[in-house]
Structure 1
Amino acid sequence: MSGDASSPSDDRRSLRLDRDGPVAVLTLDRPERLNALSHDLLVELRMRLRALDEDRGVRAIVLTGAGRAFCAGADLQSGPSDAESVLRTYYNPLISEMSDLRTPMIAAVNGVAAGAAVSLALACDLRIASENASFRLSFVRVGLVPDAGSTWLLPRAVGTARAAEMALLGRPVHAAEALDWGLVNEVTPVGEVGKRALELAREVSALSSSVGPTRLLLSRGLGVDLAEQLNAEAAVQGRVQGEPDYQEARRAFAEKRSPRFRHS
C-alpha cells in the first residue's frame, strides 16, 4: 500500500505514515506478527489519528496492513492479560477516537482481519477488501466475547441476523460473502486493494468541506433518536451554509460549471 503514496514522511517501526497530497495512508507495519495489535501500536495509532484529524491538509485517511494480513487482532504477547483493563485502557479509547474523527476513513483490508481488527475496519466509513480477505470474530471458540465495539458496530453494519451468525458461530466471513452482507463496499483482485482505496480517498478529498460534518452526523446518528438527529442536522446545515464551499457551489450552478472547492 505504501508504494501508492508519493511522499513517505514517517518510518516508525510499528505504524507507517505515507502522504499522497491530501490523503494520509496509515499502515500497520508488523508483518512478522501479522500486524497484531500491541499496546504500543494501539497508543501510537490513536495519537496519529488525532494528529491527522487536526491537520487541515489531510482530507481522507486510508488504514491498511503490511504484508499478507490486515491485522490478526490483539497481540497476546503484548503485555498484561487483564482483559477488562486492557480494553478500557487501549482499545476502547481508540474506537471512540475513530468514531469522533472529522476526517473520513477508508479501510483497505488486504488479508485477514481478526478479532479487534474487525472493529478497526468497521470504525472506518468505507471498507475495500481484497479477494483473499476474511473477517473473523472467533471469540466464542476461545471462551471470550467480541469486544472493541464489535457488538455495537457489527449489527449496525450487517443487521442483527448476520451479526449473530458471525459472532455466535465464530466462523470466518470471506470477501465475497462480506460484500453480499454489506460488510464491505467493494472487493478487488489481490494486490489492488490499496490502489482502489487510494482512488476513493482522493475522490472524497476532492469534495467540499461538508464531508467532515456529514461523517460526524452519520456516526453520531447511530446513538440518538430521530428528533435529536433532526435537530443536529438543522444546526449543522445552518453552519455549513455559511461556508465558502456552499457559496462556490451556488456560483458554479448558476454559471453551469463544476465547483472549485477551496482546500486549505
Structure 2
Amino acid sequence: MSGAAAIEAQGLATLAGTRVLHRDLALCVRRGEVLALVGGSGSGKTVLLRTLSLLQAPAAGQLTVLGEDAATLDAAGLRALRRRIGILFQHGALFTGLSVLDNICLPLAEYTALDPSSRRELAMLRVGLAGLPAEAAHKFPGELSGGMIKRAALARALALDPELLFLDEPSAGLDPVTSAGLDDLLAGLRELMGLTVVMVTHDLDSIARVSDRVAFLGRGALLAVAPVAQLAQSDQPEIRAYFAAAPRDYGGSPCRPA
C-alpha cells in the first residue's frame, strides 16, 4: 500500500436533494488500500461514495481524484478521469435486456475505439477475471443468481482496467458463503490489478476480511478513520455501539495483507 493519495477531500460538503448531509469533511484514501465507508442508516454513505466517484458534484470543498482537481476539469477532462474509475452499484444495475457480455461491452464501446470483436474478446477476459464461467457471458441478468449478478456487475466495473474501484453494498442480499467468496475475489483482484477500493457496506464480516481502514460517518461528519480492530475499541459511544451490536474478533484477516 502506497503512501500516495488516490483521493483527497478537504472541506467537502454533500447534498441529498437540497439537504446537506456532510459538512467540512476531510478524507484521504491511500493508493492500493481498501477503505470501507460505514455508519448508521441515513449517515450518507452512498451519497459520499457517489461524490467521491464523480457521479455527483460536491456542494462545497475540494476533491482531488487520482491527482486531478475535479472542480477544474472541463467535460472532456471529467470524462477522461471517469474512465479510470469502476463502480459496482448496490443491485448490480445491469441492463436486463442485454446479455452479461453486452453489458460488459458497453463501457468499452463508450470509452474506447476497439472494434466489436476486440470488445467481446476483452469482455470475455473480464468474465473470467470476475470468477464467472464462460457460459454466463451469454445469459441475461434475470437468469443469474444474486452472487452471479454481483460478479457480472464487477466484470463490467473492471472493463476499462480502472485504478479506482467503488463498491456500493457488494454483499447485500448474499448468503454468508457467497459473500465470503466475493471478498476473496476482491482481495485477489486488489493484488492482481493494483486497485484502490472504496466500499460502502453494513457487512462487518466483510469489513474484517478485506478492509485496511474504516471510515465511520455520523452526525453529518467523519467521526473516525482507522483499522477495524482499532475502531471497534473506540471510546466514541456511537462507534462503540455500532460494532458492539454484532461482536466479532477483529484481530486479523486471512484475505488482507498484514
Q: TM-score, normalised by structure 2?
A: 0.31
Q: Which one has the bigger strand percentage? A: 2
